[in-house]
Amino acid sequence: MRDFIPREVLNILPYAWGSKLSHLAGNCYEIRLRVGQPLVLRVDSKYLAVAEIVINSSVLQTIIQNICQSSYYAYQNELKLGYFTIEGGHRVGLAGQVIVKDNEVLRIKNFSSLNIRIAREVKGAAHRLLDYCFDKANKSLYSTLIIAPPGGGKTTMLRDLARLCSSGLTEINLPSYQVSVIDERSEIASSYSGQPQLDIGTNTDVLDSCPKSLGAMMMLRAMGPEILVVDELGSASDVEIIEECLNSGVTLFATAHASSFAELNKRPTLKDIIHSKVFKRVVLVVDQGKKVSIYNGNGDLLGGWQVDTVS
């Protein structure tokens, strides 16, 4: 966990803010900027307004200019999707006026809000999860779905699970697996210019900014993975990935938005996935990994843990 605002984030912010923010930013997860409002830091679970920094539209424009390095053409896709991943793997989300053509987003302009999410890497977050996901007798891994509400810490858990399986863990005789990550939104490996910015293990290949359904096929054909890692299942095309994995004998680690096992069954696509019993383990993460519950494919609780602080 970070107790400062990383250099890469300070680099995109106006220079004068550095000194004002540095002493306020213990355990900062997010920086929220909204036109006409003071800057807001999310420190631990609380939101802290910095009254001395009031945001105007030209400041947002300058920050976007700094991120794009005067090269909007190179960030067309990001401006369309509404977020940038900057050096260090930090995520900058955008809101503003959306230009739509033929029911498709062309880009966002006249920015009104930015949300800078500071990339967090919690090594060891998934260590205890291996007791449930790794079958020591058969030396095999179970396909696992990690669920949590937005900002709940599921990607942090997924990243660490991928890292541990990729590097192996001698304590529990976990061998190192060939891991392929399809990082559609650059959140798992937090890649910048194609290079992973966070530790995702020694035997991991990353396909950055690639749609899951395309990337899964590419990785299965090209890299021969033993484990496939994807973030945020939910669309109809995601079912294809699961079928492909099943047919090729690959273990799948994935995440989905849901705040309980019961809620999974209410979402049409995810309901089908759960009913197909592909995932032998479903992990519910609450409050950034502070509470973890593990279910089997039928929704029976197998165990879990609760900690006061994540270390």
Partner 1 sequence: MILFLKVIMAVAIVYTVIRLCRIKVVFYKNRPKTLRQIVYSLQNFSNQMVFSNELLPDIVHNMSKENYPISALWQQVNSELQSGNTFESSLEKALQKLQGQLSLADDDLSCLKVLSTQLGQSDLENQLKIIKITMDKILLLEKQSEQEKKQQVKLWNMLGVLGGLTIVILLW
- The site for partner 1 (CB under 8 A) is made up of 65, 68-74, 76, 107
**Residue among 281, 264, 262, 261 nearest 273 (CA):** 264
Helix H or strand E segment including 296:
strand 291-296
Least distance from partner 1 to the Cβ atom of residue 2, Å: 25
Q: Is there a contact between 33 and 50 (Cβ–Cβ < 8 Å)?
A: no
Q: CB-wise, 50 or 68, nearer to partner 1?
A: 68
Least distance from partner 1 to the Cβ atom of residue 76, Å: 5
Least distance from partner 1 to the Cβ atom of residue 69, Å: 5
Record the tokens describing residue 72, joined without a space.
Answer: 């909007």
Q: CB-wise, 49 or 74, nearer to partner 1?
A: 74
Q: Is there a contact between 200 and 207 (Cβ–Cβ < 8 Å)?
A: no
Would you call 104 helix, strand, or coil by DSSP?
Answer: strand
Q: Measured in Å, how far apart are the chain's first and last C-alpha atoms?
A: 7
Alpha-carbon distance of 91 to 162, in angstroms, equals 20
CB pairs under 8 A, 24+ apart, for 10-14?
Answer: 11/66, 11/87, 12/63, 12/66, 12/67, 12/86, 12/92, 13/63, 13/66, 14/59, 14/62, 14/63
Least distance from partner 1 to the Cβ atom of residue 196, Å: 19
Pairing between strand 251-257 and 144-148? Answer: parallel
Least distance from partner 1 to the Cβ atom of residue 299, Å: 45
Q: CB-wise, 4 or 75, nearer to partner 1?
A: 75
Q: CB-wise, 110 or 235, nearer to partner 1?
A: 110
Q: CB-wise, 82 or 297, nearer to partner 1?
A: 82
Least distance from partner 1 to the Cβ atom of residue 71, Å: 4
Q: CB-wise, 70 or 170, nearer to partner 1?
A: 70
